[in-house]
């Protein structure tokens, strides 16, 4: 940016006026990069020359000839009049990756923004101020965010805790302003999206905590398929994946079954289950031991067989949960 973008000149004489001048572009060592001749026709005594501001760099305007309606001397400006100005580059800001939405969980931690923040590439004279617009795709509310005193070439944007709500969010760069006061409104790679997924959950379908060997233990899964379920049986940790919202296991032997965690979307959102909160106790199946010579034949439905006896008193063990007794 350059101020002003026009330069005024006061001309004395008889109207109209003609001014010839050269526009020179210089490098950092005052070497001429380009030289172009231009002319100005003025019907008034006050004329404006449009400065070149399309590209950054140093420009010099060299006025070599002036004539009016009655006077035209090709050497009337033996010592050219020079005017110089500097065009500063506009600041830029753009999102590094705009192809796929960034995916977060409602409890995502941003302790290290470089790992999961949204990167913004910046070129400018620091410090920089960036104005953003944040909008939830299914809501009307719009949030405006101002990032100030940015000095890095890459800034990692962190969504606010309040904006980590379920659904798709659209983040747009509205403007960027640098330390020189130059500002611009980016139009390329200025928009990115991020999605906030619900945490996966798992719910046991059987209300009881005690089961027998051979029972099927079933859980209902909520979230986005596929799910990864981490569970522990008798101290051994297991990990399984399923696309079915119903997760079940058959109790093959005695022991304790505990759900450790559940995750969806390839473990993007992982829910840890507190120890003991989702634990199942599996008991042995019923068994019969014949003791002595008592024999019962032709047992019909609805008739209880006579009680059996144990060799030694106190040998009778009962499991009320699985409804069996044995010696």
Clarify whether residues 83 and 20 are in a common domain. yes
CATH number of 186's domain: 2.60.40
Clarify whether residues 154 and 221 are in a common domain. no
Among 166, 197, 228, give the residue marking a domain's end. Answer: 197
Higher pLDDT, 40 or 250: 250
Clarify whether residues 82 and 123 are in a common domain. no
Count of alpha carbons within 13 Å of 114, Cβ hemisphere only?
Answer: 2
Tell me whether the omega of the peptide bond preceding residue 16 falls within 30 degrees of 0, making it cis: yes
| Within-domain flag for 48 | yes
Among 244, 265, 283, give the residue marking a domain's end. Answer: 283
Q: Tell me: pLDDT of 322 over 70.
A: no
So what's the pLDDT on residue 76? 67
So what's the pLDDT on residue 90? 92
CA–CA separation, 177 vs 181, rounded Å?
A: 6
Clarify whether residues 148 and 104 are in a common domain. yes
Rg (CA), the chain: 41
Q: Tell me: pLDDT of 13 over 70.
A: no
CATH number of 211's domain: 2.60.40.10
| Within-domain flag for 325 | no
Clarify whether residues 184 and 238 are in a common domain. no
Tell me whether the omega of the peptide bond preceding residue 4 falls within 30 degrees of 0, making it cis: yes
Clarify whether residues 230 and 164 are in a common domain. no
Q: Tell me: pLDDT of 287 over 60.
A: yes
Among 175, 197, 219, give the residue marking a domain's end. Answer: 197
Clarify whether residues 179 and 228 are in a common domain. no
Clarify whether residues 206 and 188 are in a common domain. no
Clarify whether residues 106 and 68 are in a common domain. no
So what's the pLDDT on residue 327? 47
Higher pLDDT, 319 or 38: 38
So what's the pLDDT on residue 77? 66
So what's the pLDDT on residue 120? 96
Clarify whether residues 101 and 191 are in a common domain. yes
Q: How would you label 229-259 residue by residue, b for 16+ Cβ within 10 Å and e otherwise?
A: bbbbbeeeeeeeeeeeeebebebeeebebbb
| Within-domain flag for 148 | yes
| Within-domain flag for 303 | no
Condensed to tens digits (0 to 9), the pLDDT of residues 57-80 reads: 999 999 888 887 777 776 666 778
> Do the beta carbons of residue 174 and residue 132 sit within 8 Å?
yes
Residues of the chain with pLDDT > 90, as a percent, come to: 43
Q: Tell me: pLDDT of 117 over 90.
A: yes
How, if at all, do strands 118-123 and 92-95 pair? antiparallel
| Within-domain flag for 152 | yes
| Within-domain flag for 315 | no
Q: How confident is the model at residue 2 (pLDDT cuts 50, 70, 90)?
A: very low
Question: Which 3-state string (H, E, C) describes 172-227?
Answer: EEEEEECCCCCEECCCCCCEEEEEEECCCEEEECCCCCEEECCCEEEEEEECCCCE
Q: Tell me: pLDDT of 191 over 90.
A: yes
Condensed to tens digits (0 to 9), the pLDDT of residues 243-273 reads: 999 999 998 899 999 999 998 876 677 888 9
CA-to-CA dists, residue 248 to 210, 217, 226, 229, angstroms? 15, 5, 15, 11
DSSP state of 278: T
Instruction: Report, as an integer, the average pLDDT of 87-115.
Output: 89
Condensed to tens digits (0 to 9), the pLDDT of residues 291-301 reads: 555 555 555 55
Q: Tell me: pLDDT of 232 over 80.
A: yes
So what's the pLDDT on residue 315? 47
Q: Which residues contact 264 (CB under 8 A, 6 or more apart)?
A: 197, 200, 221, 223, 224, 225, 226, 227, 228
Condensed to tens digits (0 to 9), the pLDDT of residues 145-189 reads: 999 999 999 999 999 888 888 889 999 999 999 999 999 999 999
Q: How confident is the model at residue 14 (pLDDT cuts 50, 70, 90)?
A: low
Average pLDDT, the chain: 83
DSSP state of 68: -
Range of the domain at 10: 6-87
Clarify whether residues 159 and 216 are in a common domain. no
CA–CA separation, 174 vs 258, rounded Å?
A: 50
Clarify whether residues 192 and 206 are in a common domain. no
């Amino acid at each position: 940016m350059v101020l002003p973008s026009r330069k005024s000149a006061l001309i004395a004489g008889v109207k109209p006026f003609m001014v010839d001048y050269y526009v020179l572009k210089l490098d950092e060592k005052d070497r001429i990069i380009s030289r172009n001749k231009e002319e100005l026709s003025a019907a008034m005594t006050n004329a404006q020359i449009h400065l070149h501001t399309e590209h950054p760099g140093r420009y010099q305007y060299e006025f070599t000839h002036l004539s009016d309606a009655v006077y035209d001397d090709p050497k009337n400006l033996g010592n050219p009049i020079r005017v110089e100005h500097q065009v500063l580059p506009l600041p830029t800001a753009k999102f590094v990756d705009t192809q796929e939405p960034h995916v977060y969980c409602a409890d995502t931690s941003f302790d290290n923004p470089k790992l999961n923040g949204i990167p913004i590439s910046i070129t400018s004279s620091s410090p920089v101020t960036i104005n953003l617009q944040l909008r939830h795709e299914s809501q009307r509310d719009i949030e405006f965010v101002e990032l100030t005193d940015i000095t890095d070439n890459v800034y990692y944007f962190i969504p606010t805790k309040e904006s980590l709500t379920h659904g798709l969010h659209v983040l747009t760069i509205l403007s960027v302003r640098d330390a020189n006061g130059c500002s611009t409104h980016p139009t390329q790679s200025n928009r990115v999206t991020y999605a906030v997924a619900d945490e996966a959950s798992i719910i046991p379908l059987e209300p009881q905590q005690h089961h027998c060997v051979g029972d099927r233990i079933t859980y209902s899964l909520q979230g986005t398929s596929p799910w990864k379920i981490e569970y522990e049986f008798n101290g051994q940790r297991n990990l399984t994946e399923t696309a079915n919202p119903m997760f079940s296991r058959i109790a093959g032997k005695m022991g304790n079954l505990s759900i450790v965690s559940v995750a969806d979307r390839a473990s993007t959102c992982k829910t840890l289950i507190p120890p003991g909160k989702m634990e199942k106790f599996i008991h042995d199946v019923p068994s019969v031991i014949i003791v002595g010579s008592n024999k019962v034949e032709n047992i019909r439905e609805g008739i209880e067989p006579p009680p059996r006896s144990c060799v030694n008193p106190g040998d009778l063990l009962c499991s009320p949960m699985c409804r069996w007794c044995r010696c």
